[in-house]
Chain A
Amino acid sequence: MSATGHEHGHEDHGHHHKETFVTKYIFSQDHKMIAKQYLITGVLIMGFIGIAMSLLFRMQLAWPGESFSVFEAFLGKWAPDGVMDADIYLGLVTMHGTIMVFFVLTAGLSGTFSNLLIPLQIGARDMASGFLNMLSFWMFFLSAVIMVISLFVEAGPAAAGWTIYPPLSALPMAQPGSGAGMTLWLVSMAIFIASSLLGSLNYIVTVLNLRTKGMSMTRLPLTIWAFFVTAVIGVISFPVLLSAALLLIMDRSFGTSFFLSDIFIQGEVLHYQGGSPVLFEHLFWFLGHPEVYIVILPAMGIVSEVMAVNARKPIFGYRAMIASILAIAFLSTIVWGHHMFISGMNPFLGSVFTFTTLLIAIPSAVKAFNWITTLWKGNLQLNPGMLFSIGMVSTFITGGLTGIILGDSTLDINVHDTYFVVAHFHLVMGISALYGLFAGVYHWFPKMFQGRMMNKNLGYVHFWITAIGSYGIFFPMHFVGMAGVPRRYYENTAFPMFDDLTNVQVLMTVFALITAAAQLVFAFNFIQSIFYGKKGSLNPWNATTLEWTAPQKHIHGNWPGAIPHVHRWAYDYSKTYENGEYILPGQDFVPQTVPLQDNEEELNH
């Protein structure tokens, strides 16, 4: 795995294919176009649907049983007289989880930025296989379409929770959503997994083989390290979910008993014998836990990069950052059992998983401290991307700390499946990953849209409302959980002991509505800037990485001439000679393409 540059395309990129509308905008094999396709389908469209669903059920939670015309408009027969039905409540919760976790934060986040940045930051003409890349996007698109179609089936969408534990998800008699809706869910996810695997393999091969001359692994920007490791854990864990989905399909449709046993429902005994729902939980969380790192690692990579650029300082502890990404990736595959402490599995296993789970807090802590130190004595350029990066560290700490409670098998007993969990993972992986995503969009928007910049003032409005709103929603939620309120309850009115929590619910919902409205500001800014955004300079943030040396106008092959060579790591910000002068006079950064200067000390990072 030497770092010698890949020579592909030096000579032959010059000849021009005839580009039609279809090959340029639809079945494009260009990584920049595919990145935009992921961003628009995964983040803007699916994100809109996912967040809108959360508003509907948050309203139901705050004002249970109240009639709303919005419910009637969107839910139709599921909201007779505007009152939400309990089945569709579960459907909304399930689909919100599925869409946000898989479609927005996995495909949307990784798909957008891995595709955009891997070739541009390592100095490659394109992905290793443009065709597989295109295939990967269109399979994702197909799975998204199927998932959206499942919202419209007669008996309602899948409603067994995004974890689709059988038997609830396996038996149409147990709930209407487990009929055609669940079938479509499984089909959609099977296609999604295939798409994700194609994408991940492509990212891995590209990072390993297509780095330009001089780009050793230890000179890679942390974004690339994060995307690379994310792809590796995706390849390791997604196939396990596929097997779980296939076995569940067989239990549902072909009468096998992998996950089912001894069931008596609606007056009759079913034939299933010998399976175990706990097996499904193991298979699901073998993906499910790495999955949350698949979501957060790219965000961490983006934050590390954006933060260093805007702090005008190298990221602190570059090697420690890589080591912690690797440690998190490794540990992420052996902690899945912490979702199952009270599932009925052997308590000894619970002990093992407590141990590994609390271990994972160590690399996470190292990362947080390194980010904070990166800010220390910086010259912070508080662009919207930077604000979201700082915000991400804040929510990651707040949300991550409560993981110490949930990862402890003893303490998990009483907060398991309560709102405490909901608050924890929304802060640590939902909000944090979204902040990473926003940081990336604000930062690399000029790279995606021919040098156009997003409006920074709208960006500031977007950030501050979102930052306050997110804490407003999820901070009080911890208390709701510790009061014992279970998640996935259609309403809490059946328990007088939860009556005095109603006003907390209202507070959280109001914050949710305001925060969601602020996302419209982002959507507006995004769309407007595509067409009317002011063109910035070639390297608007004065960054060192390679993508800013490529011309603003998109060309197939990224660089018109030869691929630039790399002579240093990606974080030479504010580097000086011993006499305190910048390496390049009058410029506080040294691009990776600049050779080592005379008398310049190359640090062994």
Chain B
Amino acid sequence: MTALLTLTVLVLVAIAIWQMAKIFELSQLKAENTGVATDKDNKYNGYLMFGFLFFIYGITIFSFVKYSKVLLPEASSEHGGGYDQLMWVSFAIIFFVQTITQFLLHYFAYKYRGEKGKKALFFADNDRLEFIWTIIPVIVLAGLILWGLYTWTNIMDINDEDDPLIVELYAQQFNWTARYGGEDNVLGDASVRLIDIDRANVLGLDEADPNSADDVIVKELHLPVGRKVNFMMRSQDVLHSAYMPHFRAQMNCVPGMITQFSFTPTITTEEMRLNPDVVDKVKRTNAIRAKWAAEGRPNSEPWEFDYVLICNKICGKSHYNMQMKIIVETEEEYNKWIAEQATFKEMIAPAE
């Protein structure tokens, strides 16, 4: 039905355009359509150019008013605040430049629309002007580069200071697994060549490595708030990308190597659920989902906010549904949870 509707709309649009062109053409018969713009064409298109400027401004304002609320809520990690700040400064610069340059471009297109007999100004060069608009971007970009690099170096400096929690993120088509270092907070050695599905050694841990015995393997990522987490990422098959948008964190998982990312979560899931933006978003989303439920659509149960880890590198058929829930909780809650989990040694079937 929708297909038919869409097609009908398309056909109608095509007919409308065709008719519009016909009318245009008939109305201009006397003027003899040579294919070259006349004064009249210049006038109409000049006005349209000016109008187009307002279309650009309009769609910008419309998008901001209507879609700002869909953006991610405040960052839930320590470095995320700095990230957001740099983002907004960059955006301020972008919108300033965009507003001015689009104005000049379209205003000139309107203002200097051609007329017969008008003389254009032969203006081929001006060293001072060119110097000005070379040096301004140089200064602005130098500032952005320095700020960006400073932030980048800090984010990417992954070290063992402040007793970080060590967590492995393990990717495979099409799910995530997390592994904690356990009591000793050290991950045991692992290799895909040691995977033994029959004995439930799904991550290929080296049983001979004493560090692996107390490792904890889980399907839900729990993080204590306020403690730095160092992620070690592995993939067993193709490229994946561990994307945690609420934490402004992302790193690819590459078969054959271990990649790293580190951040400190600052807001627990419980706290985030009370964030006004999130409350608003959940309300909005659940209104949509209630409508879907009324239509009898699947996957329309009410939603409760949770942090997620999602795959952001094309990895195959179910790439679009490769996710893991992240729960940020207090230290005590985390300790309680981790204590309940089975260690690798308890999990694995004994060798025969």
Contact = CB atoms under 8 A, between A and B. Distances in A.
Nearest to A161: B314
B225 interface: no
A413 B155 contact: yes
A362 interface: yes
Contacts of A184: none
Contacts of A461: 17, 20-21, 24
Interface string A362-395: 1001101111110111111111001100100110
Nearest to A524: B18
Contacts of A365: 133-134, 137
A497 B320 contact: no
A411 B87 contact: yes
Is the interface on chain B under 10, 10 to 19, 20 to 34, or 35 or more residues?
35 or more
Given A260-B256, A265-B236, A390-B109, A358 B144 contact: yes
Please list the 7 inter-chain residue pairs (A to B) with the smallest Cβ-Cβ separation, ordered nearest first: A453-B35, A261-B256, A484-B245, A347-B156, A496-B303, A344-B259, A382-B45
16 contacts: A90-B319, A165-B313, A264-B192, A344-B251, A354-B148, A377-B112, A394-B56, A397-B101, A411-B86, A411-B87, A479-B70, A486-B311, A500-B70, A500-B284, A520-B14, A576-B122
Given A260-B255, A482-B71, A504-B70, 13 more contacts: A318-B125, A343-B252, A347-B152, A362-B138, A373-B129, A377-B120, A378-B112, A381-B114, A383-B36, A408-B152, A414-B245, A500-B69, A517-B13
A66 interface: yes
Contacts of A343: 252, 254
A495 B323 contact: yes
A125 interface: no
A460 B41 contact: yes
A402 interface: yes
Interface in B1-57: 2-4, 6-7, 9-10, 13-14, 17-18, 20-21, 24-25, 28, 33-37, 41-42, 45-46, 48-49, 52, 55-56
A394 B106 contact: yes
Contacts of B237: 167, 171, 174, 263-265
A366 B285 contact: no
B323 to A, nearest CB: 7
B35 A540 contact: yes
B280 to A, nearest CB: 10
B250 A401 contact: no
Given A372-B101, A479-B70, A490-B319, A377 B121 contact: yes
B173 A265 contact: yes
Interface in A521-542: 521, 533-534, 536, 540-541
Contact of A413 (B28, B239, B249): B249
Contacts of A456: 33, 35-37, 41
Interface stretch (A4-12, A197-205, A309-317): A309-317
Contacts of B227: none
A45 B83 CA distance: 44
A361 B137 contact: yes
Contact of B145 (A70, A355, A478): A355
A67 interface: yes
Interface string A386-422: 1100100110011001101100111101101110000
Q: Which of B56, B238, B251 has the most CB of A within 10 A?
A: B238
Contacts of A165: 238-239, 313-314
A500 B281 contact: yes
A148 B42 CA distance: 42
Given A311-B120, A461-B17, A168 B129 contact: no
B2 A63 contact: yes
Nearest to B313: A417
B248 interface: yes
Contacts of B257: 261, 276, 278, 344
A225 interface: no
B141 A493 contact: no
Interface stretch (A112-120, A237-245, A462-470): A462-470
A511 B145 CA distance: 36
Interface residues of A, number: 152
B200 interface: no
Contact of B255 (A82, A277, A366): A277
B13 A514 contact: yes
A174 B238 contact: yes
A521 B17 contact: yes
Given A410-B152, A574-B119, A366 B130 contact: yes
Contacts of A320: 130
Contacts of B159: none
Given A59-B6, A375-B109, A380-B109, A496 B236 contact: no
A314 B124 contact: yes
A132 interface: no
A586 to B, nearest CB: 11
Contacts, number: 427
A154 interface: no
A499 B17 contact: no
Contacts of B315: 168, 174
Interface string A56-91: 000100010011111100000000001000110010
A129 interface: no
B109 A413 contact: no
B108 interface: yes
B3 A573 contact: no
A262 B194 CA distance: 11
Interface in B183-218: 191-193, 195, 197, 204
A312 to B, nearest CB: 4
A67 B236 contact: no
A218 interface: no
A472 interface: yes
A176 B59 CA distance: 41
Contacts of B336: none
B177 interface: no
Contacts of A209: none
A418 B100 CA distance: 28
Contacts of B93: 404
Interface string B307-332: 01011111111111101000000000
A1 interface: no
A376 B103 CA distance: 12
Contacts of B273: none
A372 B104 contact: yes
Nearest to B149: A351
B74 to A, nearest CB: 13
A243 B56 CA distance: 43
A471 B112 contact: no
Contacts of B148: 354, 358, 408-411
Nearest to A482: B71
Contacts of A446: 35
Q: Which of A319, A458, A605 has the most CB of B within 10 A?
A: A458
B192 to A, nearest CB: 4
Contacts of A278: 254, 257
A14 B193 CA distance: 73
Given A167-B239, A402-B94, A416-B250, A382 B37 contact: yes
A397 B299 CA distance: 41
A256 interface: no
A332 to B, nearest CB: 17
Contact of B35 (A390, A491, A536): A536
Interface in A483-524: 483-484, 486, 488-497, 499-502, 504, 513-514, 517-518, 520-521
B46 A380 contact: yes
B152 A354 contact: yes
B341 interface: no
B101 A342 contact: no
Nearest to A496: B303
Nearest to B104: A372
Given A344-B251, A380-B114, A414-B245, A479 B63 contact: yes
Given A263-B255, A404-B144, A603 B303 contact: no
A320 B148 CA distance: 29
Nearest to A173: B237
